[in-house]
Structure 1
């Protein structure tokens, strides 16, 4: 497949940060044994040879190992940031300088730069798009119809992105297969729950240095990310309140021991608010108006739209930077509300994102999803496709093996019993 080469080889903050970035990439690799095995196999087999890949991901030490796996597999891979505040500039520099992977990502880049980088990713004329949030796919569908013929498929590992892909398919505009990495068991059970739970609180503590014990923490949304966040907050001694729109998730939160109520009722009680819904304006003007003085608001959902910052700014007389990633909004009423990380992913804005050990499984799914798309090119229908169960279980097996943990095997008698309707009880 012949591509029109991009003219600019990278757009990063500072190439001189490469040495520091490489050291951190290597450190992360210690906790990523599954992806390391995939990197080694890909280097031998080259399953992605000749394939152009545009990856829109959080540019972190863990993502670096996915990019290296793609390159080892023979892909012509390019990386852009999926979030303006999530880029680790030293990692971007090392990927360019030490691994020869084009990166277009700068921590704190403005929206115009972000959208320019999305266009750069599409200028690469990708055959496969690895997306976090489906911005690249949405831009392709809306603005680059002529490139649809180049596409083998896409992979998506965020809840927000899966929602958008489903909407695209429903509207008849998703004309190629999309691998639903987000719903793989070895992704959402671990990355969403344990990764989000730990890294969200890590980001909050780094940004504020507050004590969480004894605080009323309101978690908006009780999906897998919300479950992990609520669990970890309780583990640090917080009194956790959950808000939900789904009655099944709400009753699950109740039975997990959390208080559940509408945001309007939670708003006057909360000391700290964490949104993890993937939806828009979960915290709005009417909620800001009744919050305590100095209430802290942050987001760990994919985009920065969960908190209505426009409304908050209109309610304010002044916005003051009080710490790194911490802004205090002084309201006309005389109270103030504190926003962390400009409403963007607090775990990546103020901390380092998910621990390497969980991203090991998530990015193993991404790499193997790309391989699956190539191996099955022309045979997969347009729309969402689950990660094959065999792939999911193999990732879990490799992870357990790396941890030195063994599990039982079925006996022949058990095999017959579990696969038969005649054996009875």
Structure 2
């Protein structure tokens, strides 16, 4: 191995823990693109997912305990306060804690101190570390919701001795019963909650980070010896700036008259090579990815048919089917040239089986 790129903060922490490195590692997790653009989209995704999972609960005006005031936590704190929540902050980093205090939040060094001082209805974890210890569990209010936006924050519950006795709440999370009869609900499945049964971050919102990753990888591969061994952020930031990504992003989304649409079709959509005729396409799942695929396939000349069992804002302008693939009329299925499976990942294999069922004609 000549070099590596790391995209996540948790990965950076693991790399830092192993000691001196023998190869260069570019730190995309702390790159300017992810810090300045990516985390805004991540925080927006987190808050939208939170409200979607507990739509029947009052949030405005209520007490929220935020564990971690880093790049993500500080943005979530501001969004929760703008929503009307009363936000308390815990962080072991004193610089971050001072920053939170000077931004007007009640601050505590430990979760135990915060729980002794107030009774939150919601605890949000963004640390990427064990944010609630076994001792902290005894102080949790009855009925509190735990929202993990980093996998390890509530691992004392999701990976500890309490996990086997947890009750699954379909589509919501896990209910734990603690000593004394108190119950707490971990929203999602213990991993980052905005990725739980959702499309997560809109494709357009994260494309700049994906592009920056490719740019950094290309620069590193072109001359891996140029970057010394160790963990680095500056070479990635320099390569991304030199490639013109910031200029392209500004022109696309922020400049006067910006439309959010590229001026030309992406490379590869047109060219001299003959293209297979694409007349009919079926898009299964009309979430963020499904909408994007519908737009792309329409631009390529296909007539899309949309299938979505959840009836997610099915387009009136296109032929749509609010049921399962197996229920699709045979006459319609026979004319499909390409299937685009855009439903949640856990449903991909069952949908693929339905598409490839013996009664279905061969398709791409």
Pairwise TM-score range, normalised by the shorter structure: 0.5 to 0.7
1:224 aligns with 2:71: yes
Structure 1 residue 264 corresponds to structure 2 residue 103: no
Report the secondary structure of 2:224's partner residue: coil
Deviation at 1:317? 9.7
* CA offset digits 1:38-74 (Å, max 9, x no partner): xxxxxxxxxxxxxxxxxxxxxxxxxxxxxxxxxxxxx
Are positions 1:179 and 2:26 aligned together? yes
Aligned to 2:248: 398
Give the counterpart of 1:294 among 135, 143, 146.
143
Q: CA RMSD in A?
A: 2.3
Any idea what the Cα deviations from partners look like across 1:305-332, whole Å, max 9, x if unmatched?
A: 5431168644x89522234141111223
Distance 1:241 1:235 in 2: 14
Q: Secondary structure at the match of 1:214?
A: coil
What does residue 385 of structure 1 align with?
232
Q: Secondary structure at the match of 1:321?
A: strand
What CA distance in whole angstroms lies between the structure 2 residues aligned with 1:230 and 1:343? Answer: 21
Alignment of 1:133-282 (within 5 A): 151-168=1-18, 171-172=19-20, 174-192=21-39, 194-209=40-55, 210-261=57-108, 262-267=110-115, 269-279=119-129, 281-282=130-131
* Partner Cα separation in structure 2 for residue 230 and residue 368 of structure 1: 32
User: What is residue 369 of structure 1 aligned with on the other side?
Assistant: 216
* Partner secondary structure for residue 204 of structure 1: helix
For 1:404 and 1:326, how far apart are their aligned partners in 2? Answer: 38
- TM score, norm. by length of structure 1: 0.55
| Structure whose CA Rg is larger | 2
String of CA shifts for 1:181-235, please: whole Å, max 9, x gaps. 122212112212x123211122222222233212211111111010111111112
Contact 2:148 2:186 in 1 (8 A): no
| Aligned residues of 1:317 and 1:330 also touching (Cα < 8 A) | no
Which residue of structure 1 aligns with residue 356 of structure 2? none
Find the counterpart in structure 1 of residue 344 from structure 2.
none
Q: How far apart, in 1, do the equivalents of 2:78 and 2:32 lie?
A: 19
Which ranges in structure 1 are unaligned for 5 or more consecutive residues?
A: 1-150, 407-425
Q: Specify which structure has the bigger relative contact order, considering alpha-carbon pairs within 8 angstroms and separated by 6 or more residues.
A: 1
CA distance in 1, matches of 2:24, 2:93: 29
On the 8 A contact 2:132/2:153 being kept in 1, the answer is no
Give the Cα–Cα distance (whole angstroms) in 2 for the partners of residues 300 and 343 of structure 1. 9
Alignment gaps of 5+ in structure 2 = 257-364
Secondary structure at the aligned position of 1:342 is classed as coil
TM-score by length of 2: 0.63
